[in-house]
Amino acid sequence: MNMQWNLDQLRLFVSVAEQRSFSAVAREQRKAQSAVSSSIALLEEDLGVSLFDRSSGRQPKLTDAGNALLEEAREVLRQCERLNGRALAMMQGQEARLCLAQDEAMPFQPVIDSLEAMAEQFPSLEVQLSNGTQGDVARKLVERKADLGLLFYHDQIPQALERRVLGSIEMVTVCGIDHPLAAQSSVNCQQMAQHRQLLMATQSSVYPGSEPASPQVWRADSFYVMAELVMRGLGWAWLPRNVVQYPAYQGHIVELVSEWTPPALIVELVWRRDEPLGPAARWLAERFAVHLQAIGAKPDKLRRHE
């Protein structure tokens, strides 16, 4: 079989499949609808299969073959983006500037230690740092306002981004030293449900433990704000261990032994697929991984209030 299809046809195929409209894709691409339809028809002819069932109504519906080939087409386009990005990185050499965006709850010490080491390794590199929720981090990458992102794993990451797991941060159950739960040697779900719970509230609600375990709930969009509320006895919460260990909270927050705690936060390095990491960014990624692994071992429990 003589394959004559091209990347433009694959892009149109994926776009029509995702938007379920030839006309919408035509408007987006500033093409005539007939041109989009013809390109898809030529692709079907070259592949020897029908990708869309055009008799199913006004919206094009993928055939079984179309469904089977859709992810293959996406992967071909992703590989092309990687190829172009690698070539661009080779042409540009070392970065002049590195813009790093990170989740505000990212462990402080591994980031600072990594940046300190990078300052010695790449003394002429300009670095720009920004903090926000993980939705902010992903958006900055997509909008090309950041080159590199550190966030916690979630399944709603934009398709334009690549991701790499670096490590994990344990979640712990905590309350203030004067909270009624602090006197318990261990707490169960029934006991926890009797007291106000403090929960993370973001637009995407993708952090572990976003579902309440108590009928009484207060929400905040920052783990550090939650820790401040916990410290003042306003409720119990699930918090990342690194937040609980912040010096200002020592002696004010108690870690509880509970029968259920959310899974660990998975730390990921994220970047645009069409702009792969340069030498400094790759080096920094390795340092992040090393420092995260160093704190990955479970430390001693926080001392209970005597």
Q: Minimum mean pLDDT among 69-83, 88-102, 162-176, 227-241: which range?
A: 88-102
Place of tokens 């579902």: 211
**Other Cβ atoms within 10 Å of 41 Cβ, number:** 15
Assigned CATH class of 7-90? mainly alpha
CATH 3.40.190.290 fits 171-256, yes or no: yes
| Whether 113 contacts 244, CB under 8 Å | no
Taking the C-alpha atoms of residue 109 and residue 167, their distance in angstroms, rounded to an integer, is 14
Residue predicted with more confidence, 295 or 146: 146
Q: What is the Cα–Cα distance from 197 to 145, expressed in whole angstroms?
A: 36
For the chain, percent of residues with pLDDT exceeding 90: 29
Statement: residue 302 has pLDDT above 50:
no
Record the pTM.
Answer: 0.62
Helix or strand run (H / E) with residue 279: helix 279-294
User: How high is the pLDDT of residue 111?
Assistant: 87
At 298, the pLDDT band (50, 70, 90 cuts) reads very low
> Which contacts (CB < 8 Å, 24+ apart) does range 240-243 have?
240/105, 240/107, 240/169, 240/170, 240/171, 240/172, 240/265, 241/169, 241/170, 241/171, 241/172, 241/299, 242/105, 242/107, 242/108, 242/109, 242/169, 242/295, 243/105
Q: pLDDT tens across 131-181, in order? A: 887 788 889 999 999 999 998 887 777 888 888 888 888 899 999 999 999
Helix (H, G, I), strand (E, B) or coil at 90: helix
- Domain with residues 93-169+265-294, CATH architecture: 3-Layer(aba) Sandwich (3.40)
Q: How much is the pLDDT for 236?
A: 95
pLDDT of 202 reads: 67
Say how far apart CA 244 and CA 299 lie, in whole Å.
Answer: 12
Mapped onto helix, strand or coil, the DSSP state of residue 154 is coil
Q: Tell me the mean pLDDT in the region 42-56.
A: 86
Q: Do domains 7-90 and 171-256 have the same CATH topology?
A: no
User: Residue 167: what residue type?
Assistant: G
Average per-residue pLDDT for the chain: 84
Q: Give mean pLDDT, residues 9-23.
A: 89
Decide if 278 contacts 94 (C-beta within 8 A): yes
Burial of 215 (0-12, 13-18, 19+ CB in 10 A): exposed
What are the residue ranges spanned by the domains of the chain? 7-90, 93-169+265-294, 171-256
Q: Are 85 and 274 in contact (CB under 8 A)?
A: yes
Q: Give me the residue label for tokens 């109504």.
A: 57
| pLDDT band with cut points at 50, 70 and 90 for residue 300 | very low
